[in-house]
Structure 1
């Protein structure tokens, strides 16, 4: 039975171990604590206890009078130790300490402070004046050196300095021991990559990645090769050494990497580009070496570097102009490890960035990053798939449909769609609803694009009227021009920084014609034109419109080559090299021509906007008055006033209108832009 009980205890102890099966490590700091406790015990208890503090009055009236004192020893001329006679020890037992702290029978038993030696001697002689000579106690004098205290007084300052130094460097190298210890200054050059293997798996799979069909196919091929390499090697093929995920923020680059980590049955190293950067010289290169050393030991494996532009920026672009740059040293080491003299068989590199134009060319060449996988903004069908993923945990009403929501969010990234779903759930909860409805999602899109409604903002009647006519000018021209985005909703309720806003339904197109750009420009100038016609004056409310129109006009002339006088030239540098140049890529004469053509383009569209509004002045005024009355109007109101748009094949209704491109009626530029 005893053996059985012992086995059960061992099993219970094994059950308390960590998943790795190893017992918890002993902390070496406990040793330091034990040593300190032992020294304190030696100092204060001395293994025999200590004397009890008393007073001269008690010594004189009790111990001296009853002749219980055997010796009086004055230590260091300021403290007197009382030694009792052996037959008097029991008399004072109740006053002495007991247990471990009790003094020995040999003393000292009591102790008190004497003041000065002369005063103590006079008091002692006076107290023993009537005693016989054999009963008098003569004091003894002794000097004792506290070696422990002196040693501590010498060592303690150095210990404090060392402790401060250790704490500072621990803070500076916090987390530097990702592979070899927690925060140790000597491990600052170790890799900080998180390793995901069979003991710590990632739950994300390719089923959680909606849309991105082409990008997903590329990375699935990497996983497929690792699972069954014979399928590719029998035909003489080789797996790409690296794949670079490129795309705008929020499109799912890191999510794809998480899915690879969840699907692959090989070790997965994950870290950020900024993890290589440290204030110490040479640390970045050291961490790169340590990362690839670990990866080679666990090959085949995958290494994922998020935001690689932190270390992969093109060399020679350092603003310090020729000084030694730690980032360049780190990049050089990374280039060597990826494809240098030593081969890295079985180590596949995945990286993600939204600034691929800034990366070094040597990093982008074949043999390092063989593939560039472009992760673009999702189209209509892909947005529907993404909505289905994010709608799973939400309690939806029957009227909500993923395809309907996809139509409301052109230009949205996957992160934006996740934000819409979360915001809709919060809005429904705020209204104490049991399920999230269609209107909650529309309100969520309004909230994300236009900002929070400010119904209590103080606006005068004259300002409100000007805002209404301004927004009605935008709406009128956009409805009447063929290539302008059709209006969905107009409001004069302030949102964010904007005092008024208009939402449009942009077409999902890959290229844009000159006629489309001119119609959009004319529509943007409709607010300023309406103010000039109705009030014979202009305001600062068109700042955002003018900013957008100016940028669009210069882009048409100098980038898209849409000016006959300037010609079919483009001064845009897609490589990003011109960002560090000190001269323009054209002459001063060409610059004057670009300015002149851009201004002429804007002026012609402004005159066109004035003409359109004058021709439809009655409808414009009706729309503005209805906007003043209702504060919010929809596309069906414009259809009632101006009629259907003859060139639109599928007419939009108020139910499936999207919410895009608010036009601010404010002096400060708004963050919203047209899609």
Structure 2
């Protein structure tokens, strides 16, 4: 063992050229390692590099130590096991497979046996520390994370194995992107260093080809329109990954975690796939719902399922781990007594994986309800980048239509359809185009723009029903403009269960009570407009009433802007606030006051409501600019 330790010391200058200018080792001639056991030589260097100076001194002085070695890539665990046997003194070594049920009793018995006998105890965990006994973790003198070998370690191994002074042209990422078995097989001691280098370069080319071919066909981020800041982040990440592959930057310098949030259908999953293609990396996709469907659903099976997902991502690294429906991991601050312990364990383990099991893995989450996500998941160092994905604008919609339509329609026709579809999501556009193309194909004819128009306007409305919807949406718009709130779009094109939509600017992050109450008035204005014009309201105001109630409930129960500064619940948890009958009475009284205010406001602007409604019946969609021009005329 003494000779092997001396060999590692003597080879240290090969790993760090700067060390050749000083230190006791530079005066000694470099030792040549025998042409055998390339895997053990490389494994020893991987461990030695991870050892802090104190552990290196302990190894050199043959002291008894307890060391936990985490093999970030599970396929290196066996090689590290053999290397640890040669590196440490008389030792008790145990392997722990994080994907299987760990034998805690065996770990602790082995620990006692080694330490009482004056031996070192080395435990090697493949993939993560999930299966490690808490007692062993507490007793460990050192915990080492062993990453895949980089170019300098491979270079040092080749120099020693083939007794050569110079090794060049080793690909920078071949150690990170190759399996352990394939990398070791490329270095064959009975051949020459030049032949080993050629094999490593061939292996690197195959890795690159596999990476390209493993990506599903489809657009890259550069091909997509919209997505704003999320797209800029993704393109910057793709550039940074290219620099990482060249060895220009380290992984820790990359921004490798983000969350996409927004209404359903805005293209969050589509973005993830395009990001993987832009970065030229594979994508592992999962969700908590998927884990429940693939396991018995017991606590231990969900925890192990999370371990396996992260382990798969690391085994394919660099890659993207896409976690959909991230809000399924509940906010621990909102958990009631029932199920609190169960979910706390799941969320805490997920946080641990985000902290410790992300080597060369890009974590991308998606949710429709970011307000439900535990704040610890979103803190800096975990998934701190947050991008809201909203519905695309008119120009972006036109390009989305062009992407799905190809050359089937003219630019003028596509622009007209995009204008009519304002407020739709990318997913809705894709479904619309597929449906129209399918109908035309079944009728054995070319697609026409009227096919898309008919699908967009196929709501089965009578003239009377359409008129009421136009009055309703015009009421929202008039109330917003009267209160100084910008209107971006009014549409009476049906979208799901909605008969129409008015898109306005939000209340903002620093909203006052007046601003929130104005938002509630705008929400109530559709129903109020129906009352003013027709004398009664229809049943189509459920979403509006929900939004108004949420605004007023937040004023009084969450934000300290009303009758009490007591924080009862988060603004999104209206149902918890409504469990109090007295609070319900307070909200009812406030909403009645705002509704009466809304009726007075719309009565004073009745002609504007009629003017806008008439234009909506004719055009079905009005942009904010068109609305302003209409009222000015």
TM-score by length of 2: 0.51
The residue that corresponds to 1:359 in the other structure is: 373
The residue that corresponds to 1:598 in the other structure is: 591
CA 531–486 in structure 1, closer or farther in 2 if over 3 Å, else same: farther
The residue that corresponds to 2:418 in the other structure is: 406
Deviation at 1:646, TM superposition (A): 13
The residue that corresponds to 1:337 in the other structure is: 353
Counterpart check, 1:634 vs 2:618: yes
Deviation at 1:215, TM superposition (A): 0.6
Partner secondary structure for residue 338 of structure 2: coil
Counterpart check, 1:222 vs 2:245: no
CA 349–409 in structure 1, closer or farther in 2 if over 3 Å, else same: same
2:527 corresponds to which of 524, 527, 531 = 524
* Cα pair 1:454 1:495 within 8 Å, conserved: no
* Cα pair 1:472 1:527 within 8 Å, conserved: no
Distance 2:543 2:577 in 1: 25
Distance 1:556 1:633 in 2: 30
CA 429–410 in structure 1, closer or farther in 2 if over 3 Å, else same: same
Distance 1:575 1:468 in 2: 34
Deviation at 1:267, TM superposition (A): 4.3
1:390 corresponds to which of 404, 408, 426 = 404
Deviation at 1:253, TM superposition (A): 1.4
Deviation at 1:255, TM superposition (A): 1.2
* Cα pair 1:241 1:370 within 8 Å, conserved: no
Which string of whole-angstrom CA distances, capped at 9 and with x for unpartnered residues, describes residues 44-85 of structure 1? xxxxxxxxxxxxxxxxxxxxxxxxxxxxxxxxxxxxxxxxxx
The residue that corresponds to 2:290 in the other structure is: 275
Distance 2:286 2:619 in 1: 49
Partner secondary structure for residue 271 of structure 1: strand
Matches within 5 A, 1:251-270: 251-270=266-285
Which string of whole-angstrom CA distances, capped at 9 and with x for unpartnered residues, describes residues 532-588 of structure 1? 4xxxxx5xx62224x466446545644469xxx95898989657567667965xx94
Which string of whole-angstrom CA distances, capped at 9 and with x for unpartnered residues, describes residues 321-372 of structure 1? 25652x54443333222214xx643233222222322222332222222322
Distance 2:476 2:381 in 1: 51
TM-score by length of 1: 0.48
CA 597–225 in structure 1, closer or farther in 2 if over 3 Å, else same: same
Which string of whole-angstrom CA distances, capped at 9 and with x for unpartnered residues, describes residues 390-430 of structure 1? 222x622564133x333223322211222232344456568
Matches within 5 A, 1:555-566: 557-559=552-554, 566=562
The residue that corresponds to 1:543 in the other structure is: 539
Deviation at 1:250, TM superposition (A): 1.3
Deviation at 1:473, TM superposition (A): 6.1
Gaps of 5+ in 2: 1-98, 102-125, 128-206, 509-514
Distance 1:305 1:531 in 2: 48
Deviation at 1:251, TM superposition (A): 1.4
Deviation at 1:386, TM superposition (A): 2.0
Which string of whole-angstrom CA distances, capped at 9 and with x for unpartnered residues, describes residues 168-204 of structure 1? xxxxxxxxxxxxxxxxxxx99899xxx9845522223
RMSD, aligned CA: 5.3
The residue that corresponds to 1:203 in the other structure is: 217
Distance 1:262 1:247 in 2: 22
2:331 corresponds to which of 297, 302, 314 = 314
Which moved further from structure 2: 383-392 or 565-574? 565-574
Distance 1:324 1:576 in 2: 23
* Cα pair 1:241 1:367 within 8 Å, conserved: no
* Cα pair 2:530 2:538 within 8 Å, conserved: yes
Gaps of 5+ in 1: 1-186, 456-463, 533-537, 637-644, 653-675
Distance 1:315 1:479 in 2: 39
Distance 1:419 1:358 in 2: 29
CA 568–651 in structure 1, closer or farther in 2 if over 3 Å, else same: farther
The residue that corresponds to 2:318 in the other structure is: 300
* Cα pair 1:489 1:634 within 8 Å, conserved: no
CA 285–651 in structure 1, closer or farther in 2 if over 3 Å, else same: same
* Cα pair 1:483 1:519 within 8 Å, conserved: no
Which string of whole-angstrom CA distances, capped at 9 and with x for unpartnered residues, describes residues 292-336 of structure 1? 3344444433322222333x22236555625652x5444333322
Distance 1:357 1:292 in 2: 25
Matches within 5 A, 1:88-103: none
Partner secondary structure for residue 336 of structure 1: helix
Partner secondary structure for residue 363 of structure 1: coil
CA 242–198 in structure 1, closer or farther in 2 if over 3 Å, else same: same
Distance 1:387 1:380 in 2: 10
* Cα pair 2:477 2:490 within 8 Å, conserved: no
Distance 1:646 1:316 in 2: 44
Q: Which has the larger radius of gyration?
A: 1
CA 376–611 in structure 1, closer or farther in 2 if over 3 Å, else same: closer
CA 334–436 in structure 1, closer or farther in 2 if over 3 Å, else same: same
Partner secondary structure for residue 373 of structure 1: strand
Distance 2:453 2:568 in 1: 38
Deviation at 1:249, TM superposition (A): 1.4
Partner secondary structure for residue 253 of structure 2: coil
Of Structure 1 and Structure 2, the greater helix share is in 2
CA 549–348 in structure 1, closer or farther in 2 if over 3 Å, else same: closer
The residue that corresponds to 2:52 in the other structure is: none
* Cα pair 1:474 1:523 within 8 Å, conserved: yes
CA 511–417 in structure 1, closer or farther in 2 if over 3 Å, else same: farther
Distance 2:425 2:411 in 1: 25
What is the number of equivalent residue pairs in this alignment?
410
Deviation at 1:223, TM superposition (A): 2.8
Matches within 5 A, 1:179-198: 197=211
Deviation at 1:649, TM superposition (A): 4.2
